[in-house]
């Protein structure tokens, strides 16, 4: 990637906000690039790790809508969700029938 003002020899794995190459990176992309990189734990939204806040409320709501005891929010896409469900429910030597329209990576469990 060619970032204006950054010397080619400067490639640091550590982000140093006041270091000249990192300042030019920030100047080029702006503050919003860094603010959009959200994790799964935000004070204002709660946490997917401990099922609190808006995340926890949405899981309770989904469970109620689907008539389930509990529900979980999964942020890894369809393949990751399929894999998570299979790993939670299957044991060694289980035979599982999966719809052929299921996304292919789920068969790599």
- What pLDDT score was predicted for residue 12? 46
Mean pLDDT of the chain: 75
Whether residue 90 is predicted with pLDDT greater than 60 in this model: the reply is yes
- What pLDDT score was predicted for residue 24? 73
* Predicted confidence (pLDDT) per residue in 45-67, tens digit: 888 888 889 889 999 999 999 99
> Starting at the edge strand that comes first in sequence, how are the strands of the sheet with 46-47 ordered?
41-42, 46-47, 52-52
Q: Which of the four pLDDT bands, split at 50, 70 and 90, describes residue 72?
A: confident
Q: Which residues have C-beta within 8 Å of that of residue 45, sequence separation ≥ 6?
A: 53, 54, 55
């Amino acid at each position: 990637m060619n970032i204006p003002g950054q010397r080619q020899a400067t490639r640091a794995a550590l982000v140093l906000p006041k270091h000249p190459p990192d300042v030019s990176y920030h100047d080029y992309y702006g503050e919003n690039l860094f603010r959009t990189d959200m994790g799964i734990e935000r004070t204002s939204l709660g946490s997917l790790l401990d099922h609190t806040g808006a995340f926890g409320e949405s899981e309770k709501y989904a469970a109620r809508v689907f008539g389930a005891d509990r529900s979980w929010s999964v942020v890894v896409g369809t393949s990751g969700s399929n894999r998570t469900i299979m790993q939670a429910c299957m044991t060694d030597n289980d035979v599982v029938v999966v719809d052929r329209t299921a996304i292919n990576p789920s068969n790599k469990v």
